[in-house]
Amino acid sequence: MIEILFYMAGAIALIATVAALTQTNAAHALIYLIVSLLAVAVLFFLLGAPFAAALEILIYAGAIMVLFVFVIMMLNLGEAGRSREREWLAGRNWLLPGVMAALLLFELVLAVRHAPSLTSGLAVDPKAVGLSLFGPYLLAVEIASMLLMAGLVGAYHLGRRFIVRRTGRR
Amino acid sequence: MEGLQIPLQHVLLLAGALFTCGLAGLILRRNIIFMLMSLEVMLNSAALAFIAAGARWGQPDGQIIFLLILSVAAAEVSVGLGLVLQIQRRFKTLDMDQANRLRG
């Protein structure tokens, strides 16, 4: 019976992804994309990877999506921003994503109630991940840190010129 | 695993379907923000496949590759969105067919 949760979450992930990539309004697409990421996080939890599920929500649905929101809001400054914002707050835009997210929360509650059976067997706990990450995969951690450093420097370089020109022109 | 018995093929099919959605979005959409979102979806589906494989054999390696994919996605999206700001400022559009100074 608990297997149904997996297929439900998978269907929600697929539907939300298709809905996200076929929208014309970037902000609406972002809401659907967040629902899709939440669905994938529930899939991770059901597959016995609670650490990965938490990271998916924190970093993907939290940090990376906030970057998208910032850029969309920055690009929409100026013409007709307020009426567009009022349109975004209309109920029909967030009703379907809200229903999907509520379904995912329901699934998560059900899964947590089944937690002893879910985290037994082949589930991988965070301790094993940490031990392996800072044991045999230490070089990969270093490479990831160098990659993040390169991303930080690159993003600062691109964004700094944007900000300086904008304030200099005023 | 006694609690949840999902065949690995079904998870891989789902990951493949998500990847196909992302690829189709990347090819069909011309708005660069949607192209970046499609890239996120594709990376995410790859991560799902890794997690499924890690859960299948009960090894932590899948989640470690997921962490690496996460850092790649974070670096990619920060640089990509910086480029979006530059392109918007320089070409006054987000349509990638307009930004064809290289005549590609």
ipTM: 0.89
Q: Which residue of A has its CA nearest to B67?
A: A52
CB contact under 8 A, A151 and B81: no
A 36-75 residues with CB below 8 A of B? 36-37, 40, 43-44, 46-49, 51-52, 55-56, 59-60, 63-64, 67-68, 70-72, 74-75
Q: Which residue of A has its CA nearest to B38?
A: A21
Alpha helices (runs of H) in B1-104, residue ranges in sequence order: 8-28, 32-57, 61-91
Give the residue among A169, A72, A21, A170 at the shortest CA–CA distance from B39.
A21
- Nearest beta carbon to residue B55 from set A7, A70, A124: A124
Report CA torsion sign: A31, B75, B88, B31: negative
pTM of the entire structure? 0.86
Give mean pLDDT, residues B1-13.
75
- Indicate the pLDDT class of residue B2, thresholds 50, 70 and 90: very low
Q: Residues A68-126: pLDDT tens digits?
A: 988 888 876 555 666 666 666 666 777 888 888 888 888 888 877 776 555 444 677 88
pLDDT score, position B104 = 58
Please tell me the distance in Å from B12's CA to the nearest CA on chain A: 11
pLDDT score, position A129 = 87
pLDDT score, position A111 = 78
pLDDT score, position B30 = 87
Contacts of B51 in chain A (CB under 8 A): 43-44, 47, 49, 52
Angle at A93 (CA atoms; ends A92, A99), nearest 5 degrees = 80
How large a percentage of chain B has pLDDT more than 90? Answer: 50
CA B63 to chain CA mean position, Å? 17
The burial of A95, by beta-carbon neighbours within 10 Å (0-12 exposed, 13-18 middle, 19 or more buried), is given as: exposed
Residue B2, amino acid: E
What mean pLDDT is reported for chain B? 87
Give mean pLDDT, residues B4-29.
90
Q: Residues A125-167: pLDDT tens digits?
A: 888 888 988 989 999 999 999 999 999 999 888 887 666 555 5
pLDDT score, position A113 = 78
Give mean pLDDT, residues A63-71.
89
A 69-128 residues with CB below 8 A of B? 70-72, 74-75, 114, 116-124, 128
CB contact under 8 A, B81 and A131: no
Residues 6+ apart with CB under 8 A from B61: A132, B54
- Lowest average pLDDT, out of A21-25, A121-125, B68-72, goes to A121-125
Please tell me the distance in Å from A91's CA to the nearest CA on chain B: 23
The answer to whether A158 faces chain B, any CB pair under 8 Å, is yes
Q: How many CB atoms lie within 10 A of CB B64?
A: 24
More confident residue, B84 or B97: B84
- Nearest beta carbon to residue A29 from set B1, B37, B89: B37
